[in-house]
Amino acid sequence: MARRHTKLTWLLIFLVGFLTVSPVFMLVVGSFSRGLNAFGDFTLEKYIAVYTDPAFGSIIGNTLVFVVGSAALSTVIALFLSYLNNRTDIPFKFLFRVLSVVPMMIPHVLFAVSWALLLNPSNGILNLWLQKAFALETAPLNIYSIFGMILVEGLLDLPIAYLIIAPAMASFDVSLEESSRVFRGGPIKTLFRITLPVLRPAIMAAFILCIIRALASFAVPSVLGMPGRIYVMSTYIYQTVSTGFVADYGKAAAIGMSILVTSIVLIYIYRYLTSSSERFVTVSSRGFKPAIIELKKAKLPLFVILVLLSVVLIVLPVLVLLYTSLVPYSMVPSVRAFGMMGLQHWKAVLKDPISLLSIKNSLFLGVFGASLGTLLSVFIAYIIVKVRTRASGFLESLSFLSFSFPGIVIGVGFMWFFVRTPLYATIWALLFGYIATYLPYGIRPMTSAFIQIHSHLEESSTVCGASLLTTMRRIIVPLIIPGIVSGWVLMATMFFRELSLSIVLSRPGTEVLAVQILRFSEDGLWGRLSALGIIMIMFSTSMVVAVNLLGAKFRKMQVVESLK
Amino acid sequence: MEIQISGLKKYYHSEGKVVKALDGVNITIPANKIFTLLGPSGCGKTTLLRCIVGLETPDEGEIRIGDSLVFSSGKNLYVPTEKRGLGMVFQTYAIWPHMNVFNNVAYPLQNRKMDKAEIRERVAKTLKFVQLEGYERRPATNLSGGQQQRVALARALVNEPKVILFDEPLSNLDAKLREETRKELRTFLSELEITAVYVTHDRVEALALSDSIGVMNAGNIIEIGTPRKIYFDADHRFVADFIGRANLVPAAVLEQGESETVVRSALGNMLCHKRDFSEGEELTLCIRPEFIELQPPNNKGAVNTVKGVIETLVFVGEMYETEIRVGEQVLMAKIAPDTDLTEGSEVSFFVRPEHCLLVAV
């Protein structure tokens, strides 16, 4: 049995290594090459061109402000929300669950677009309304600014930060605080001297993960930054490969190298922090009820803030898109506007062959890609959790590597790779790239599912005379169904809305939804964009619901079978 | 069925260190008895059990269950766990949460592709035996700890194996339930013709449950014997110390008498249970606290009478736990709860020679 696992481990190491190391390798070599057709022809000119360009300084500056600003915003709001949820008597706590999960179903590019629709300086709905209400000459707010970018990216990364901080807050041993109070520490002093320092690893981990996400973010900088000529690293790469006369993939690789190196360094700091946070945060096994702080007078205003945040994160984007898809052109909601509503944009989208193709392609990538990715993740997670050898530790580190991959950078790496294979410009290139980049998201829920299965459950099946296959079929798979479902859903929604990798790899014939949305946005076709966006949200939501139902049914089936 | 183990070795390598979980174990586990492997944590008892069932592969040695060889490093033979046909109760019970009681118990029979009607009949019979009649449709997650334990037992017994293995099965139950379940288990097992191998670190459990106990330490079996033999008459100091509380007093043999061995110790000259030691040899005198008896005031003539001072006296309900100082030596003892002695009182006590156990240093 042990020998078979060794073989499987090395097979997976080879596979994952191929998926994650090859784009990095190609990126490195590509950045020193003269061009796509002169691969390996050594030159330093791309690096010199990029890093001596005087404009590069301002791009670095923009990137820093954007990344740190949005990460700080997400972390602070997440901290505030986790505290409210775990430590106060705020009502309707299910809102926190909604807030942490539902925004993941709204594609980033659509979220950014909805803010552009509201607050763009020429005809943003909110701007027009404010202008009218206060009789202003110009639009008071401009989303096409670094502050706009920070605000939107910060809101987008909020769920990530919340999902890291909230569990730490929930498992916080309140007796640490209580003993501080006993020793004459006031509530404010206790918060700053005890509570926040004990939670520091979790807070830092959330902050760093948000930085990585913002660094890799392409949707917000392209939709909100580029119209105002505010470039960050990811949009600079995009500009290098998609505008101008000749796409310069060598230069793009040279830019990408610095993002990739930064990300990889950050992800290992993150990993170190999360492993030490488990040591740091004292989870009390005796089931202490955390001391709930009564909000009293502050309850209502805080609750209003919470509801407002939910509206801004979930309801508003969908409403704005729905509204825009129905009105002929941008206008403030009014009786006249509602009178002019029609389905013209919807009809245009449903007749547009490229939009239809992009729906088809994204559905294929979402459903088939996530299934393939989940299958791979099940085996990897099994080896990581159940086989504790040096090789399985190596596999874990290797599969964790792509967690740091900024999509657009790795896209450039894949470009150098695919252009030498028949996969170039096929849907398989995208599939390959998606799985390589998003593998850790599939593995994570699966490893936690495997960790929960005590090895005795498996062993007792063997003692009862079951073969390995029977044990898999009757014990392991049914027990990890919840992990499989959440891994699949996570991968499918990510694949379905994928933008930053696709923007590099997508070619005529392999358009995907998010890329098509961005095209509409660049052309200012807001109505069609909104209609396609609503279709996109509908598909991804029904996909999530369907799989959850299927998972529940499968589990019920197990019970029914057992009753026969 | 008898289990014969010879020369069994299993080393683990972790962080450059070698852990000898099993260091050449030789043992014959008698058929149709309850045999307990007792030892401190990390002594290799669970590894030995897992080697018998096949969940671990030893580095060296042979395991024979009944007439069939299931492992032999020399013949490169390893019968996989699922082909060994044993029963086992795990420490965590390992009840599958996604199945109901019926399927948990029926699982071993289903793997043998048995006829459905027969499976139903045998599951019902086994559940009746463990007093869980009518629980078939209960989801496994909807059971108390004691009930889960009995489902695990039923699952191990349903296939009527000749050997059943227990890996600390009572350690997850609370104290009261543990005692009840222990008695039940003893009754269940004595009704069957089955060889039971039971692993525990709880000496009371081992004494109460076993026909025979093998005490393990550092990958070796130190001593094998009946509970009474192990408790009263251990050959090894480690065993005497591990199986119960013991006062260990350094001593030396003064002379070998007809039926007793006389030793010199800090308690004075003591008549002890006879053991083969040569005169002058250094050894350890082992006296259990419960065998230190206070001398009634009017009785002065008992052998092995010692005088001392009560140093501490702690009331624990059913008795006083006390420490008696005799010169440099401090002895643990138990005194009846209605005593009027206080700390500082002078006492005189005696120990019967048959309770003065001599073991090598």
Candidate from A172-186, A462-476, B114-128 with smallest mean pLDDT: A172-186
**What does the pLDDT look like over B58-81, one tens digit per residue?**
999 999 998 899 999 888 888 888
Shortest Cα–Cα distance, B212 to chain A (Å): 25
Q: How many CB atoms lie within 10 A of CB A391?
A: 15
ipTM over 0.90: no
Q: pLDDT digit string (tens) for A291-312? A: 677 777 888 888 888 888 888 8
Over residues B316-354, the pLDDT tens digits come to 888 889 999 988 889 999 988 888 888 888 888 888 888
Name the strand (E) or helix (H) holding A99: helix A94-101
**Range of lowest pLDDT (A106-120, A140-154, A273-287, B326-340):** A273-287
Query: For residue range A195-210, what is the model confidence (pLDDT) as tens digits?
Result: 788 888 888 889 998 9
The predicted pLDDT at position A364 comes to 95
Lookup: tokens for B69? 């060889």
Query: What is the number of other CB atoms lying within 10 angstroms of the CB of residue A116?
Result: 20
CB B117 within 8 A of CB B175: no
Q: What is residue B234's predicted lDDT score, i.e. its pLDDT?
A: 85
CB A529 within 8 Å of CB A412: no
**Residues on chain A bordering chain B, Cβ-to-Cβ distance under 8 angstroms:** 1-2, 454, 456-457, 459-467, 470, 474-475, 478-479, 555, 558-559, 562-563
Looking at residue A556, what is its pLDDT?
A: 60
Q: Tokens 């590069």 appear where?
A: A56
Residue A536 pLDDT: 92
Residue A557 has pLDDT above 60, yes or no: no
* Cα A512 from Cα A356, distance rounded (Å): 10
Chain CA centroid to CA A27, Å: 23
Indicate the pLDDT class of residue A544, thresholds 50, 70 and 90. Answer: confident
Secondary structure string (H, E, C) spanning A231-276:
CCHHHHHHHHHHCCCCCCHHHHHHHHHHHHHHHHHHHHHHHHHHHH
- Mean of pLDDT values over B145-162: 88
Which positions in chain B touch A559 (Cβ < 8 Å)? 98-100, 139
Average pLDDT over residues A503-510: 89
Q: Give how far A379 is from chain B: nearest CA, Å.
A: 21
DSSP A55-77: HHHHHHHHHHHHHHHHHHHHHHH
Mean pLDDT for chain A overall:
85
Chain A residue closest to B164 (CA)? A463
Higher pLDDT, A247 or A383: A383
SS3 B28: strand
Binary contact (A465, B94; C-beta < 8 A):
no
Question: pTM for the full model?
Answer: 0.75
Pairing of strands B268-273, B320-326: unpaired
H or E stretch including B4?
strand B3-14
Instruction: Kindly list the residues from chain A whose CB atom is less than 8 angstroms away from the CB atom of residue B97.
Output: 479
Q: How do strand B357-360 and strand B282-287 relate by DSSP bridges?
A: antiparallel
Please tell me the predicted confidence (pLDDT) of residue B64: 92
pLDDT at A277 over 60: no
